[in-house]
Structure 1
Amino acid sequence: MATTNETADPVAKGILPTAKQSWRDLFIWKQRTVVTNDFGEEHTEWQDPDPLKNPISLLAQLGAKDWLYFIVGFCAWAADAFDFHALSIQTTKLAKYYHRTNTDITTAITLTLLLRSIGAAVFGLAGDRFGRKWPMVINMIILGLLQIATIYAATFQQFLAVRSLFGLFMGGVYGNAIAMALENCPTNARGLMSGILQQGYSFGYVIAACANLGVGGSTESWKTVFWIGAGISIGVGLIRICFPESKQFIEAKKAGKSAKAPGVFWIETKKMLRQEWKMCIYCVILMTWFNYYSHTSQDSYTTFMLTQKHLPNSPATRASILMKTGACVGGTIIGYLSQFFGRRRAIIVAAILSACMIPAWILPEGERSLSASGFFIQFFVQGAWGVIPIHLNELSPPAFRSSFPGITYQLGNMISSPSAQIVNAIAEGNLVRTNQGKLAPAYGPTMGIATAIIALGIATTTAFGPERRGRHFETVGPPIAVAVPKDIEEGHGASLDEKDGATALEVGDTPVVATK
């Protein structure tokens, strides 16, 4: 962002003032930015957006170690997606294997999404307190082991139990992965890198679909796909062991290693929630819309092609692969453009265009037409998603960039967890006549109406929400205490600013001093 030295009104406080200011700012090309000078004094000014740069030159700004962190974060997110979609794209196989309906099988998806928020809280806070490395290592290895446990689930009840436990550990991946991957990226490259990173999710779907295509359509073949997912997850965890902790986290830890107070992190966490509860609620609402957006438009799409469009397993899987290829392309391009056009403008335009694509998405017949329409709608669906990693990071309290995005994302996942079940239940309860004259579940109309409502919800919520594009957080680290009084360390109840004597704390890069 380029400074203009043009003073702007301060950032609004409160829900309605923030909504009004955000709506007005949407039609102002410049970005309202809070600037801190060398003396710690803050003022608000208008800044010009970064010009669009050659994406190759942006990629070249990352050093070898930056690329290492980014690639492993991308792979962790892709492995997480593979493990999840290994179930959703094989719903029909699993229904035959356990002698259940498709709706029954999607109960496992609901349970997985429902419990991910708990894992996000535990592993996200651990990532902010202890570093990104070991929480991610533990996450990935246990995810692989739970994929193997799913294979050996003899009954449907055991299957549901394992997938519930799977959800707990799956939830911890997102926050640590995006924090590790993005926190050292140059500011003007973040939009592009965010778009690429988010498409790790779509890339995981593509790999899972390719694996499903490779193993064929036999009922027992679902187990092979789960074996592949287990190998990928455990492999990423083992690779992460081989290189050090995030540079940003290490530097912040060194700065405060003279004295540490284990209780300070949790004190600061509570303080953050008290101060930022409105931002937390907003991001949870936004992530609820977004998770409904992706799960409603993709989880049942393969089933839609198999049942309502009468495609065999292989053509339906190929169409799914092309659909998510569009997601990878769209997320990267729109994430890149958001650096210039703005995070919120990019999300709003992508959401509205996806709604316009719905008739062309559900009405065609045949593999080629469905592949093309699926490609373009997911281009815009995941194009909007491509902005989310950096948008959440920029909205996050500085010292909580591992826990805040992960928790808000997974709480949104939890609220939207019944999405696949809802789509399947409504579709199976309403029949439509196909081009072959047969009655089939109404997956197309159900997904189309739901996606239209959700896309408009995303556009509206984003239009009235905040944006902090270009926020500088390269040097802001986790909460680390320096010179903390003994009675605080022992938990004797006094707040940090109420103790006698002088107490110096360093929270991220902001010194906080309490005196008599």
Structure 2
Amino acid sequence: MAYTFQTFVQNLPWLPPKHERRKATNPFKLMTMLTPLQWCFFLAGWFAWIIDAIDFFAVSLASTRLATYFHKTAADVSLAITLTLLLRGVGALIFGLLSDRYGRKWPLIANLLLLAIVSLGTGFIKTFKQFLGVRALFGCLMGGPWGMAVSLALENMPVECRGLFSGLIQLGYPTGYLVIACINLNKHVAAVTGWRNLFYAGAAFSTFAAVFRLVLPESTWFAEQKRLQKASGVETTESRKNTLFLREVGRMARRHWVRCVYGILFMSAFNFYSHGSQDLYPTYLQKSKGLSAHQSTVITIISNVGSICGCFLGGWISQFLGRRLTMIAFALFMGCMIPLWLIPDTFSGLAAGGFFVQFGVQGAYGIVPVYLSEISPPAFRAMWPGVAYQVGNMVASASAQIEATAGERLKDPKTGLPEYGRVSAILIGAAAGVLILLCLFGLEQHSSHYEEEAPAFAVGPEKYFDDTHDGDHKHETVHMEEATPRAHRV
């Protein structure tokens, strides 16, 4: 019993070791530590994540117009959001495995070009069934960018920079929301039939991101692993590498299934937390608070400025306070801001509530890329975090429908208007509570040097990584093999 209690106390979120906190210096100094190529890798990943947000939130912003155009209810349109979230895990698994096996470049380019094609095709649909079908395909494709973007961006930079840049890459999502919301302000786009332009814009942005990634080389880390594999002198065929890679996938699942379950639970709570505050927010402002579509879009933009500020600060602060402590602090802050999100009826009051709630939500979310990367099996940094993230999306896929259906049934006794806001507040409050509990009992490997590990397709990696191993590739899970009882084992 004493040992169990001691283990529990040791695993609680604590401050990182002093030598790691000293590295968390001025954010502008951290930015100067990156080389031009490292900046380009980061921007390539950042653009890919922006595209994901632009494609996803086009539906949220146009939900009222889509309902009018297809003669459906808001709950019916929210089914498209549910389908998108439901199928993201498929794309994360497929493109993540391709990235971990063949590199960070071509799988990401293919993913972005396919997104551009499907986004363009959305503008030509005529029926609601076609719309749902396209969004289902979209969901599968949208599962790919996050894992590949995060692995590309973070694995090629100094360890002490990863907290800050984790927040910066995650703020690509609210930035994408901000971009599509600004486009939505255009009077032609805001017309009932103007929703098609949102998807045309998404296709253009996806194509740009693919071209930008095309002109850059392969990830430095991945290219170096291929060079070391060749220099090891072990000759092997591509078929043999594929067989070894698939075997390592199975071994990873057997050895780290508890960690896999934790990652999915963690991201399920996070996605209820995030999507519960975003997906039906424009509808809440228009139908529950009586704002115009233009006013709703402006508040959405203000809210996403809060998201951007939160992501930046959350990622940077986590280098000082630790990943889990920072996430807990931002979740508690968000909870304190919920009354400001619900009570006001004025434009300024609702704008302030939206800003501070999203500051808290995305402040915690800004830590997710580096946190999942640090606790993931090192050889599967594109697939494992991406699948955990997107399966969490799948679990939370019904959040928009829950909010829409419950909100339509729950009416304000005074006005008779739907209570979308109250339902959303309950949902995100409960998700924040679960998230805090998972952070208290979870894992943390602050500033893990996962870039020192070999890829899963390597043959004979002990010859050039660590000659103390016995050739059973134990190095591939060196950070993850033990069920780390201490909060910060580097």
TM-score, normalised by the number of residues in structure 2: 0.90
CA contact (8 A) 1:482 1:506 kept: no
Instruction: Work out which of the two has the higher radius of gyration on C-alpha atoms and give 1 or 2.
Output: 1
Do structure 1's residue 475 and structure 2's residue 448 form an aligned pair?
A: no
Measured in 1, the distance between the counterparts of 2:475 and 2:389 equals 24
Q: Which moved more, 1:336-345 or 1:469-478?
A: 469-478
Gap change, CA 1:405 and 1:322, over 3 Å in 2: same
Structure 2: runs of 5+ lacking an equivalent: 462-469, 479-490
The aligned amino acid for 1:168 is C
CA-to-partner distance for each residue in 1:271-294, whole Å, 9 max, x for gaps? 011111111100100000000111
Measured in 1, the distance between the counterparts of 2:16 and 2:274 equals 31
Do structure 1's residue 191 and structure 2's residue 191 form an aligned pair?
A: no
CA contact (8 A) 2:314 2:366 kept: yes
Report the structure, 1 or 2, having the larger strand content.
1
Gap change, CA 1:52 and 1:130, over 3 Å in 2: closer
CA-to-partner distance for each residue in 1:90-133, whole Å, 9 max, x for gaps? 10010011110011011011111111101100100110000011
CA contact (8 A) 2:331 2:360 kept: yes
Gap change, CA 1:18 and 1:389, over 3 Å in 2: farther
CA-to-partner distance for each residue in 1:172-204, whole Å, 9 max, x for gaps? 111001000111121111111001111111111
Counterpart mapping for 1:79-98 below 5 A: 79-98=51-70
CA-to-partner distance for each residue in 1:19-50, whole Å, 9 max, x for gaps? 9735544364354xxxxxxxxxxxxxx96533
TM-score, normalised by the number of residues in structure 1: 0.86
* Partner of residue 259, structure 1: 235
* Partner of residue 335, structure 2: 355
1:440 aligned to 409, 412, 417, which one?
A: 417
The aligned amino acid for 1:375 is F
Gap change, CA 1:18 and 1:184, over 3 Å in 2: farther
* Partner of residue 219, structure 1: 192
Do structure 1's residue 65 and structure 2's residue 65 form an aligned pair?
A: no
Gap change, CA 1:58 and 1:221, over 3 Å in 2: same
2:407 aligned to 424, 427, 431, which one?
A: 427
The aligned amino acid for 2:227 is K
Counterpart mapping for 1:73-472 below 5 A: 73-214=45-186, 215-257=188-230, 258-260=234-236, 261=240, 262-433=242-413, 438-472=415-449
Bigger relative contact order (CA 8 A; separation at least 6): 2
Measured in 2, the distance between the counterparts of 1:359 and 1:159 equals 36
Shift of 1:476: 2.4
CA contact (8 A) 1:477 1:509 kept: no
CA contact (8 A) 1:283 1:408 kept: yes
The aligned amino acid for 1:259 is E
CA-to-partner distance for each residue in 1:338-369, whole Å, 9 max, x for gaps? 00101000001111111111111111112211
Alignment coverage as a number of residue pairs: 461
Measured in 2, the distance between the counterparts of 1:385 and 1:462 equals 13
The aligned amino acid for 1:410 is Q
Structure 1: runs of 5+ lacking an equivalent: 1-15, 32-45, 485-501, 511-516
CA-to-partner distance for each residue in 1:414-453, whole Å, 9 max, x for gaps? 11101101100000011115xxx63211111111111111
Report the structure, 1 or 2, having the larger helix content.
2
Gap change, CA 1:48 and 1:140, over 3 Å in 2: closer
Q: Secondary structure at the match of 2:72?
A: coil
Gap change, CA 1:108 and 1:70, over 3 Å in 2: same
Identity, % of aligned positions: 39
The aligned amino acid for 1:333 is L
Measured in 1, the distance between the counterparts of 2:369 and 2:83 equals 24
Counterpart mapping for 1:14-53 below 5 A: 21=7, 23-26=9-12, 28-31=14-17, 49-50=21-22, 52-53=24-25
Shift of 1:217: 2.8
Aligned-residue CA RMSD (Å):
2.1
Gap change, CA 1:386 and 1:241, over 3 Å in 2: same
CA contact (8 A) 1:252 1:476 kept: no
